[in-house]
Amino acid sequence: MADYQETPNLFKPLQVGRMRVLTRVALAPLSRSRAPNHQVTALHTEYYSQRASRAGTLLITEAVFISAAAAGFTSSPGIYKQDHIEGWRQVFSAIHAKRSFVFVQLWALGRAAVRDNLAAEGLPYVAPALMPQDLAPENSATAPRALTRGEIKQYVADWVQAAHNAIAAGADGVEIHAANGFLLDQFLHANTNSRDDEYGGSIENRARIVLEVVDAVCAAVGADRVGIRISPWGNFGDVDPGAGSPVAQWSYLLAELQRRADAGHELAYVSTVDIRDDAAAAPTTSGADEAAITSLQRDARNRDFARLTWRGVLIRASGYNYERACHETALDPRLVIAVGRLFIATPDLPDRWERKIPLNRYRRESFYTMGAVGYTDYPFADELVARGDRDSETKTMASL
């Protein structure tokens, strides 16, 4: 393991919007599918409270629906009803009791939704544009219809209301989910946005709704309470980064965010989902051969364009281990590392990384099941020591 200064940047304070985080290890937004009827429960309170145990940690919640129309999964949470707000209030209070911070990731599914779930509520199945739909077997061959301009404006208003609801419930801020093949990301990709109006047809037009959401939410709750997540290289939901120029599209978006920052409206952070170094070689995007995808994945590891364009706080998520997290935060003084699977399994992850304590094994089979198993039953380091079975429950950081 490389030598670092006595206190690595990873464990130094950093100003992130209105917050002064005390560690640059953040909980990545992780859908866990444990919210029946879009309602959080006492399990959510326990889960997030556990991962807030290191004071000054930033937690970004799982993706949360901004409205009933934005939904389409039955077991992901919402924040558009009063009982949703009250449920989240308990979660946020528990996080703040540990002196940590929380941003709520706000999303809409678009063509990634399960059509029948929407139909059961009398809601339309929509996307940026009419196109074949083959994401979920449940949807059969049904294609979503294109959103009208009026519906686009309503979605913008729904993001604003959801942001108001999150702040009213006690959140420190909100993260606009514009990644991973969901509605806003569908607008950004040429292969899922064939519109010929002001919301499609060019780099600027494809970014229009994202910037409208950013501007409206910032006006509602303050730019320093707003983050955004993007995935320029992602291919979730059949978006195709090879269908255009990811660097050109997302450089334009980041340049617009930086222009707003220069005018006094700097976001708390920009979060990027990068291709993992151990990403599977098999391509899943459409319309590109294997050689092209291999080249794209190789080029994607050069992520300098994001940092060269956006000068504010940057959060990266890409399968980080301790070594990489320390190395990259040493190079970039405004970088935060978001950790997913390892934080699922190890509620005291920042402490264990700092103290060089091995981590719990994560159990992938329970990532999306209901109940406490694989959710709130992962032990803290002191529990393992008390039980005398740390070696049987953990693996070394070097093997991660």
Identify whether 355 is part of a domain: no
pLDDT at residue number 295: 45
Identify whether 382 is part of a domain: no
- Residue whose token pair is 């969901």: 182
pLDDT at residue number 277: 52
Identify whether 152 is part of a domain: yes
The span from the CA of 28 to the CA of 340, in Å, is: 5
> What mean pLDDT comes out for the span 298-320?
82
The span from the CA of 319 to the CA of 276, in Å, is: 6
* Beta bridge pairs of residue 226: 174
Identify whether 215 is part of a domain: yes
Q: 136-139: long-range contacts (C-beta < 8 A, 24 or more apart)?
A: 136/112, 138/114, 139/114, 139/115
The span from the CA of 141 to the CA of 126, in Å, is: 14
pLDDT at residue number 7: 87
The model's pTM is 0.90
Query: How many Cα atoms occupy the beta-carbon half-sphere of 125 within 13 Å?
Result: 25
Query: How many Cα atoms occupy the beta-carbon half-sphere of 13 within 13 Å?
Result: 8
In sequence order, which residues have a C-beta less than 8 Å from that of residue 88 and are 6 or more positions away? 40, 64, 77, 79, 104, 166, 169, 170, 171
> What mean pLDDT comes out for the span 366-393?
83
Identify whether 61 is part of a domain: yes
Dihedrals φ, ψ of 164, to 5°?
-55, -45
% the chain with pLDDT above 70: 86
The span from the CA of 269 to the CA of 175, in Å, is: 9
Domain that holds residue 195: 16-315
Interstrand relation of 173-178 and 101-107 (parallel, antiparallel or unpaired): parallel
Chain-centre distance for alpha carbon 386: 35
Among 88-102, 150-164, 283-297, 307-321, where is mean pLDDT lowest? 283-297
Give residue-wise pLDDT tens across range 192-243: 999 999 999 999 999 999 999 999 999 999 999 999 999 998 888 888 877 6
Identify whether 345 is part of a domain: no
> What mean pLDDT comes out for the span 311-332?
95
Give residue-wise pLDDT tens across range 7-23: 899 999 999 999 999 99
Structure tokens at 282: 């098999």
The span from the CA of 180 to the CA of 231, in Å, is: 6
pLDDT beyond 70 at 244: no
* Of the candidates 255, 107, 232, 257, the residue with the CA atom closest to the CA atom of residue 174: 107
Dihedrals φ, ψ of 156, to 5°?
-60, -45
Identify whether 170 is part of a domain: yes
Question: What CATH number is attached to the domain comprising 62?
Answer: 3.20.20.70
Number of domains observed in the structure of the chain:
1
In sequence order, which residues have a C-beta less than 8 Å from that of residue 235 and are 6 or more positions away? 181, 241, 283, 284, 285
Identify whether 36 is part of a domain: yes
pLDDT at residue number 136: 52
Chain-centre distance for alpha carbon 172: 16
Give residue-wise pLDDT tens across range 27-77: 999 999 999 999 999 999 999 999 999 999 999 999 999 999 999 999 999
